[in-house]
Amino acid sequence: MSEFLPFALPDIGDDEINEVLDSLRSGWLTTGPKTRRFEDDFAGFVGDGIEAIAVNSATSGLHLALEAAGIGPGDEVITTTYTFTATAEVVRYLGADPVLVDIDPSTFNIDPARIESSLTPRTKAIIPVHFAGLSCDMDAVLAIARKHGLKVVEDAAHALPTTCNGRLIGSLASDATVYSFYATKTITTGEGGMVVTRNPELARRCRVMRLHGISRDAFDRYTSNKPSWHYEVVAPGCKYNMTDVAASLGIHQLKKAWAFQERRAAMAARYDAAFAGLPLILPPHAPAGDIHAWHLYVVRLSDDSPVTRERFIEQMAEKGIGCSVHFIPLHLHPYWRDRYSLSPEEFPAAQKSYERAVSLPLFTRMRDEDLDRVIAAVRQILS
């Protein structure tokens, strides 16, 4: 049998490798000039007037953004059950409560109608998640936030690059947007993340809290007339800074972001064409003129599928192909289920989608033969 085809693999080239070697030789291993360059490049990528704060994960970035947005004990933050636990756990870090809502089954994204019906006097923010790289209905999310005075922090872990009404995610009217550069994401630094915002106060707070609550304003002020060892701690901050070794990868990955997206979109189109007529619900597409990042290609088995989802994934593995499931909704995990007394009946769309969902391999290093192998295996199992 041919070699095992994993569900995802990073795409690291010589430019990334040489940049890492350059960092190792330079003596700058932790946050330094490469991190600054990656931040500048990233801000330029997203748009005019954007500030970018590099961190060691999207989880860290979401924590910083929510803290900077003023979320604290007793607050409620509305998000989707159909996400990774990081989206909601950061709300708990701050002593606030995530309020999980169901998805629109046609997109896997948070259902704006359910945001409205979940509002309480404690609601302070919304975290939309652009599932698989398809934008949420941000017009609706931002309208609800404006009407009720709520903060919006976008979880864009899947959404580089994604557009909404022709505008890049990250450049919309949210308070902050957070990207992930985890090894399986559309661009990677191994581990890493980025917070972007147009709000200079929010950016400043994220920078302070990213590194032990050390105030840069105070630091800069003192470096001019105090010895260089002097600094001031103004809050109990975190240790969330990105290293220059990671940023070395990010600088070159970012340059390839559009080429990666084109390759992913082409692979998704190939899957779509090959799977027409099979007992599958194919992934939703972006509206005409908009861009889907295609971080994931998630199919759902139809009611008339000859196999269960579990059996489908087993049979794919027997054929040497790795699949995954995105996501096990939060309401099914013991911590969230028990802490908030959640039951599947409250999330019928997410529950049904989860029970049938399979993420097929989709990564830029896949060759056409790899795609053909996946297509042949899916056809064999389902016909």
Per CB under 6 A, residues contacting ligand PLP are 57-59, 83-84, 86-87, 129, 155, 157-158, 180, 182, 193
For residue 130, the minimal CB distance to ligand PLP (Å) is: 8
DSSP 196: E
Residue (84 or 275) nearer to ligand PLP, CB: 84
For residue 322, the minimal CB distance to ligand PLP (Å) is: 17
Residue 277 CB-density burial (10 A; 0-12 exposed, 13-18 middle, 19+ buried): exposed
Our answer to whether residue 151 is catalytic in this structure is: no
Residue (87 or 163) nearer to ligand PLP, CB: 87
In Å, what is the CA distance from 297 to each residue of 216, 247, 281? Answer: 42, 27, 11
- What are phi and psi for residue 226, nearest 5 degrees? -130, 165
Residue (28 or 327) nearer to ligand PLP, CB: 327
Looking at this protein, which amino acid is placed at residue 4?
F
Which secondary-structure segment (H or E) carries 301?
A: strand 297-301
d(CA 311, CA 302): 14
Residue (181 or 271) nearer to ligand PLP, CB: 181
Which residue is catalytic, options 124, 185, 256, 319?
185
Report the half-sphere exposure of 143 (CA within 13 A, side-chain side).
8
For residue 180, the minimal CB distance to ligand PLP (Å) is: 3
For residue 184, the minimal CB distance to ligand PLP (Å) is: 7
For residue 150, the minimal CB distance to ligand PLP (Å) is: 20
CA nearest to 207, candidates 36, 54, 339, 367: 54
Q: Give just the sign of the alpha carbon dihedral 232, 237, 239, 240.
A: negative
CA nearest to 260, candidates 282, 234, 293: 293
CA nearest to 280, candidates 322, 241, 312, 321: 312
d(CA 339, CA 346): 15
Q: Which residue bears the tokens 């260089």?
A: 228
d(CA 324, CA 348): 21
For residue 282, the minimal CB distance to ligand PLP (Å) is: 21
Residue (163 or 186) nearer to ligand PLP, CB: 186
Residue (55 or 267) nearer to ligand PLP, CB: 55
Which positions are annotated as active-site residues? 185
